Amino acid sequence: MTLNSKLKSLPEEPGVYLFKDKAGKIIYVGKATCLSKRVRSYFQKKRPALPKDLILRAKIADLDYIVANSEVEALILENNLIKTYKPGYNVTFKDDKTYPLLKITTQEEFPGIFTTRRVSDDGAKYFGPYTHSGNLRQTLKLIQEIFQIRTCKYKLNAGKKLQRPCLNFDIKRCLAPCCGNVSKEDYQKMVEQVCLFLNGRVEELINELKIKMKNEAQALRFEKSAIIRDQIFALKNVMTRQQVVSLSRVDQDIIGIAELSEPKQICAVVFLIRDGRLIGDEHYFLKIGLTESVGEILTAFVKQYYSRKTFIPKELILPGRIEEENTIKEWLNEKKGAKVKISVPKRGEKKYLIDLATKNAAVSLLSQKAEENIKILILLQNYLHLPTLPKRIEAFDISCLTGKDAVGSLVVFEEAQPKKSEYRRFKIKGADLAGDVAMLEEVIRRRYTRLLNEKKPLPDLILVDGGRQQLNIAFKVLSSLGISNIPLISLAKPQKKGEREKIFTHSSCLIPPPDSNVLHLIQQIRNSAHRFAIAYHHQIKRKSAIRAQLR
């Protein structure tokens, strides 16, 4: 069946549609209240289309669809399909691995607690996911210290007991139900306490333990009372590390989103507030397939985030309105089994928390970008066999369109980021200089003569725009100044169709693959120098034209 015939046969029912390219690969998954209207809207040329719709329209070669019984069912199906196929044009988690969860095997007589990456319909309780594996390990260790729940995978069959418990019993990390050291009732009660703890109900748990401690003391079971006292003390220490952010004592998730424009990167941060206390935060980096609005990105994140969550709070506090809000509310209500509120605050305590989450997201983006930049610099160092990590790179370019008003530019990159405060412009002084090679010689000589005179630090790598000729003249200048130990490279544009850009070093010619991060960084630096030179050249030409008119 052709694409046109499929478009004509689309049903007017809710469902999910899957767009495919010429190779049959799924490139986009979407949800629709009415499949026929939504899918056909991508192909209505008379109607103004969004930029992302135009891009998709050019790529779509085929489509499939799945009819759902309701909008909520379609939403769930959409999430599952996005996670399965990871379409290139959907908003997805950048690191879309399955995050670990804590699993309590409550279907067993003596439940254990384990880490897992898969949720199964096996009667167990799941908590998480945890985006920080360190937080997961710390939580598990704390649970063992306070509650002594078992972490072994030994199958406790009814009536079967071991002769001797493992080391965890001796170091007070397990109650050893395998040896009959604890009754089923007491152990189950302890498991309920663990669940309260993992749900953030620490204050409620402490009040419950205080009553139990008092009862044990009145029954003259002072040893058990002392154990509960130690549990309460440990839990209070946990509470002191949790910041009180809301007096309403409501379970809330606060979501903040920040983005970087070049290259476009998105980070979402979720503050987990339980019983009015901030018990943790989660950071997610998003992969943007097409140019999306903030509302679309936020909607996609909310759907994907809560599709994998086992606990839904009473209130979601968002930085902006989401699309399909009523459908998402209905879905969350069904998942929680109670009403979920979605709010977008404009002022007050909640707005402050949104701003704080957004600030954390921005910090995470900058931190991740810095890490990625260092990795790229390490690749660059290895690729070019440089003696040191090129943290500071200086690049030169010449602009002399029509041979008049020639200028040079210098751009500085530190840790793979432009440092615009140190960009410099040069007006070529040698009026009789012919060709950009001679002009490049003048600019480089002026730059490093000044640095040497002022005793300022020299770069770790110098980049010039051009080929072997430009590289040789730069080496000649530096040698005459006594600083020939600085690594030099040039980036030459292709001379013929089908050729690739070449990197020249003093002793070799390198042709990196087009998708190389090393090449992309060098191109970014070269292009920055080129734009800076062109902008200065145009500025000088405008001034010359104005002076000519005034004469």
> Digits of tens for pLDDT over the chain (551 positions)?
678 888 888 888 999 999 998 888 999 998 999 998 888 888 877 665 666 777 788 888 888 889 988 889 899 899 888 888 888 888 887 765 567 788 888 888 888 888 887 777 778 888 777 766 777 787 888 888 778 888 887 777 656 677 788 888 878 788 888 888 888 888 888 888 888 887 777 777 788 788 878 887 887 877 778 877 877 877 776 655 555 555 567 888 999 999 887 667 889 999 888 877 787 788 888 887 766 678 888 999 999 899 888 789 999 999 999 988 999 999 999 998 999 999 999 988 889 889 989 998 988 888 888 888 999 999 999 999 999 999 999 999 988 765 567 888 999 999 999 999 999 999 887 655 567 888 899 999 999 999 999 999 999 999 999 899 999 999 999 999 999 889 999 999 887 887 889 999 988 899 999 889 999 999 999 999 999 988 887 787 777 666 666 66
**Burial class of residue 25, CB neighbours in 10 A (0-12, 13-18, 19+):** middle
- The per-residue pLDDT for 26 is 92
What pTM did the predictor assign? 0.66
- The per-residue pLDDT for 265 is 82
- For 5, phi then psi, to 5°, come to -70, -35
Give strand pairing partners of 270: 255, 282
d(CA 404, CA 392): 32
d(CA 271, CA 350): 12
**Burial class of residue 489, CB neighbours in 10 A (0-12, 13-18, 19+):** buried
d(CA 458, CA 481): 12
CA torsion, ordered 41, 46, 48, 52, to nearest 10 deg: 50
Q: Count the Cβ atoms, other than its own, within 10 Å of residue 382.
A: 10
Q: Where are the alpha helices (DSSP H) in 243-389?
A: 294-307, 325-336, 348-384
In the three-class reduction of DSSP (H, G, I as helix; E, B as strand; rest coil), residue 425 is classed as strand
- The per-residue pLDDT for 4 is 80
Among candidate residues 471, 543, 535, 545, the one with its CA nearest the CA of residue 502: 471
| Long-range Cβ contact pairs of 421-424 (< 8 A, separation 24 or more) | 423/532
Half-sphere exposure of 301 (CA within 13 A, CB side): 31
Amino acid at 285: F
Half-sphere exposure of 93 (CA within 13 A, CB side): 21
- The per-residue pLDDT for 241 is 53
- The per-residue pLDDT for 151 is 84
- The per-residue pLDDT for 187 is 87
